[in-house]
Amino acid sequence: MKYRSTRGGVSGISFTDALLMGLADDGGLLIPDHIPDVSSRLQDWRNLNFVQVAQRLLKLFIDDLEHDDLDALTSEAFSSFDIPEVVAWKQLDQLHVLELFHGPTLAFKDVALQLLGKLFEHVLADRGETLNILGATSGDTGSAAIAGIAGMENIKIFILYPKGRISSLQELQMTTVPDTNVQCISVNGTFDDCQRIMKSIFSDLDFKEAYSLGAINSVNWARVLAQVIYYAYASLQKENTSVDFVVPTGNFGNIFAGFIAKKMGFPVGRLLVATNENDILDRFFKTGEYSLGEVFRTNSPAMDIQVASNFERFLFYYFDEDAERLRGFMEEFARSGKASVVGPLSSDIFLSCSISQPDTEETIAEINSKYDYVIDPHTAVGIRAARSIVTDNPIVCISTAHPAKFPDALGRAIGHRPTHARLSGLSDLQERKQEVSADESEVKKIIQNSSASI
């Protein structure tokens, strides 16, 4: 399997080179040169557990690591979860909730980032190289990435996050990590500012090479690949039917993984893009226009995003893999903040829905009252959006985070603040962070000053 860029300037590279490159050197996003077809294997895979599905799926995309090594890395990555099954299910009448938050940082990002950390460590050790990982987070990516990398000798990680725009517990999960290879950077701006700075730094190819920069956000193909696993596994749990998925999403990486699973031939039906008031994706699927709007602060902060960086991969396939057309669209969006296709888009695969903050809190309260089940605000957005689907297929809502990560929002909605042992005592620990303005040069200086000793 070889990898190429959505913008056509990079092609024919191996998986491990794609892993370390992160963002493609031409500014695009890396994708496989073809999507494997698994339709003939589904019956054989139905009785496999989560880790076994992961091991078989990953080998279809990774052919430059020894299979035994890849199996061992995969098994080790998922051994860090609180339950041996890795994921858990909750039945709410006709709706199935897939809990992905049983990893070290209580967020769905752990599914991918525990594996990515193992892959980075193995590949770098094999090559005798070092890496500086630069990432941006709107909430959970940062702590999950740090948990996957902290303490590794040949990697430093720099995480940008928007000051005051993630939950206090999400921030503490990052800033209280004592390992010296971890740097947390609080940016006076929005997540979109953090993401813009990150992408701009990666686009400076001389700087990227000089400081051996790698990516752990979903711009890294390996991150998306790891997320395909849970769509594959979940879709196989229902015999003789396709499964519709409802996905709370801001940066489009999570739901794009479901799109890849569908293209592979797994029994994935339709995919519902569930957003909060930051509704750029909902507007696109309903009108065909991808246009910037105001970033609203909500109680589901991981979706407080206007520029969905992973959306470019979907557009590449929507444009029938026409890199030139994709480049034109992205250049128009960069220039004017708006670009369009003929819309609305077909509902054969994607549906979309935007949920308000009052409706989110009402859903949290309703689910708690009716089922004695506590959900986080992002999952609440998905569950509320699921009501808009008319289908004969089973519906699975992706549950992205443990509710204890959002005590203030839960306190308002249900009158008490859920807790978790992994989060207790964080406020008593010493924090380490650096605050900067939304200025690329300030972030570059931190990388330069911190990387001399790697």
Write out the catalytic residue numbers.
109
Strand order in the sheet with 131-136: 213-215, 131-136, 155-162, 182-188, 434-437
The bridge status of strand 268-275 relative to strand 395-399 is unpaired
Among residues 119, 117, 89, the alpha carbon closest in space to that of 104 is found at: 117
Q: How far apart are CA 353 and CA 85, in angstroms?
A: 31
Class of residue 48 by CB neighbours under 10 A (exposed 0-12, middle 13-18, buried 19+): middle
The pair phi, psi for residue 399, each rounded to 5°, is -100, 120
Q: What is the DSSP letter of 241?
A: S
DSSP three-state, residue 446: helix
Helix 140-149 and helix 109-127: axis angle, to 10°? 40
CA distances from 35 to 103, 147, 326, 440 (A): 28, 30, 19, 36
DSSP three-state, residue 156: strand
The residue type found at 87 is: V
Q: How far apart are CA 173 and CA 306, in angstroms?
A: 25
Q: What's the distance, CA 316 to chain centroid? A: 19
- Write the DSSP string, 265-316: T-SEEEEEEEE-S--HHHHHHHHSEEE--PPPP-S-GGG--SS-TTHHHHHH
Residue 245's CB is within 10 A of a number of other CB atoms, namely 32
